[in-house]
Structure 1
Amino acid sequence: MRYTLRQLEYFVAAGEAGSIRHASERLSISQPSISTAISHLELELNVQLFIRHHAQGLSLTAVGQTLLEEARKVISQAESLYSVAAEATDQIRGMLSVGVMVTLAPMILPSLVHNFLTKHPAVEIRQIASHHEWLVEELRQAEIDTAITYDLQLPPGIEFTPLASLPPHVIVSETHHFAERETVSLGELAAEPMIFLDLPLSRQYFKDLFQKESLQPNIYARVADQAVVRTMVANGYGYSLSNVRPCSDLALDGRRVVRIKLSGQHRPMVIGIATLQGMRKSRLLESFLEYCQTLISDTSIPGMNPLE
């Protein structure tokens, strides 16, 4: 056999992502490395796995679709060897696939994973950031082992352990006329231009905050990237609502945002760990879940300011 498990992993990632670039971002591996792995597999197996579309990504050929399923099985079987060995020798080792809500990942994931790997150097963690619906579907398909996400419309079959509550707050630029306020109400915000974080399910959460008070937000722009939302707010385009509390008050362009308490009683978003109900949890997964519960709580969340 002249191909490796790593090459199969790169092939699977590209097949699922539909492009070399997205697979590269998902695995934190250079695009040339993934392209080389796919080319090697095609040469070794004497098949064409993908059809390359200029500037439009990849699509699997018929044989590529068949081999993708087989590659998944090979990878799963190889990973199970680690689980069997770990349980037999009482070691924590193996591969873990962890999905994280995209709005939480930049703050929580680096510290959480680094500290866990420091304690358990024989572990490898595949980190995937995406929106809530995608994470839940990946859990249901057993493509990821666990997800750190919110308690948003979780379907039957998903087990959710709550860890910390994140009440909503307001962010404005430092020159905004609300910037010196300690609190502001939804009624005061309704007429103001809003930069709306437009992600699946999250969007309904923010709309519901206004609807419960019979209000309609004045949405100036809909943006699916939290970093872009903060930068637009910092540049004075309008305000936004958020639940996360980054330690830095700077947007990516260096301009400052100001966090203001939202007055009234509002449903918080709850961070938790989701797993597939009824799934047998490996020793590695159990250890990771326990570690998450010790590190994430209402009093302390990696990468976030404490609740004031």
Structure 2
Amino acid sequence: MSNDFTLTQLRYFMAVAEAGSMTAAAQSLSVTQSTVSAAIAQLEHEVGQPLFLRLARRGLELTPAGRRLRSRALGFLEDAGTLLAAVRDEDAELEGEMTVGIFAPLAPFRAPVILQAFERAYPKVHVRFFEADQEGLRLALAQGRCEVALMYDLGVAVDAESQVVETVAPHVIVAADHPAAANPFGEVSLRDLEADPFVLYDVPHSRDYFLALFRQLGLTPRVRHRASGYETVRSFVSRGHGYSILNQRLHHDLTYSGGSVVPLRIVEDLPPIKVVLLFPSLGTPTRRAQAFAAVCRQLYGVDL
């Protein structure tokens, strides 16, 4: 293996990895397909192993070596741009495209607010959000398809590659005509609700977290309904089908079904969910990813 690769070859490689085909990458780069193919072939020669698997009728798929290269190439190309700006005695303003992974249930609550603040601070960076579950986000980070991911810490080790953005306490929601809704302090004990039907927010990791809250108190909820949609849970509750526990709170109490819910603080001391930013484990976070984290710090007041 030699080290005679070029920045152009790396950029072409990243375009092919993103598009999944030589033809689509060539179109996005405004060059011929043969030019892209030659660059990839030369890069594979320098690396000493294939970077893509050629799959019949399925385009191209990154090999393990290709995934490792993609994870590191983002930061490398960004550093190259910073170096050129320094040589030219220019300010290295952030620009380009950035893909941010986000846990799908978090997206409607956090993505629009963060995007508005980030675009105001860095107008030359185009952010694309990739919504997925926890496993999908970890895979996207490992494959270099995201520069950073905003997710819950459920099933994720909070380590050197992650930063806590916010802690969100669980709360109960009940229908407006539920007896607990009349509590003058806006609070309730889970022990008082154990016999009531429970509507479980049934998505991976989150359901385990909610059920663990009951186990911690030695309680067993009467799970009457399971729903994988956040608004579905709220609608079921608003129509009197049971109570539920959620973390994210809306700015209003109306539901899609036309009813309303009443949020109540849980009197028992229960663990919150942590909202974290997770970075790829290979290489250092890009400047864009670090800037994204800084915007989250400004919005949520957390010292990242």
After TM superposition, the score normalised by the length of structure 1 is 0.71
| 2:127 pairs with one of 116, 125, 133 | 125
Is 1:183 the equivalent of 2:199?
no
Aligned to 1:260: 264
Partners of 1:151 and 1:269 within 8 A in 2:
yes
Is 1:85 the equivalent of 2:81?
yes
Q: How many residues align?
A: 255
Listed as ranges, the matches of 1:100-139 within 5 Å are: 100-139=102-141
Listed as ranges, the matches of 1:1-308 within 5 Å are: 12=20, 62-69=55-62, 84-86=80-82, 88-89=84-85, 90-155=92-157, 159-181=161-183, 182-297=186-301
Q: Please give the alpha-carbon distance, in whole angstroms, between the structure 2 residues aligned to 1:208 and 1:297.
A: 29
Q: Please give the alpha-carbon distance, in whole angstroms, between the structure 2 residues aligned to 1:79 and 1:164.
A: 26
Amino acid at match of 1:126: R
Residues 124-163 of structure 1: per-residue CA shift (max 9 Å, x gap) = 1110222222222322232211111122232487722112
Residues 229-273 of structure 1: per-residue CA shift (max 9 Å, x gap) = 111111221111011111122212332111011111000011121
Considering only aligned residues, what root-mean-square deviation do their CA atoms show, in Å? 3.4
SS class of match (2:264): strand
The sequence identity of aligned pairs, in percent, is: 27
Structure 2's unaligned 5+ residue stretches are 1-11, 34-53, 86-91
Amino acid at match of 2:298: T
Whichever of the two has the greater Rg, that structure is 2
Q: Please give the alpha-carbon distance, in whole angstroms, between the structure 1 residues aligned to 2:145 and 2:77.
A: 17
After TM superposition, the score normalised by the length of structure 2 is 0.72
Residues 46-75 of structure 1: per-residue CA shift (max 9 Å, x gap) = xxxxxxxxxxxxxxx93244524399989x
Q: Please give the alpha-carbon distance, in whole angstroms, between the structure 2 residues aligned to 1:240 and 1:78.
A: 42
Aligned to 1:49: none
Q: Please give the alpha-carbon distance, in whole angstroms, between the structure 1 residues aligned to 2:146 and 2:289.
A: 11
Q: Please give the alpha-carbon distance, in whole angstroms, between the structure 1 residues aligned to 2:76 and 2:127.
A: 15
Cα distance, 1:8 vs structure 2: 6.5
Structure 1's unaligned 5+ residue stretches are 16-36, 46-60, 299-308
Q: Please give the alpha-carbon distance, in whole angstroms, between the structure 1 residues aligned to 2:160 and 2:138.
A: 8
Partners of 1:145 and 1:275 within 8 A in 2:
yes
Amino acid at match of 1:139: L
- Runs of at least 4 residues of structure 1 off by over 6 A? 7-10, 70-74, 76-80
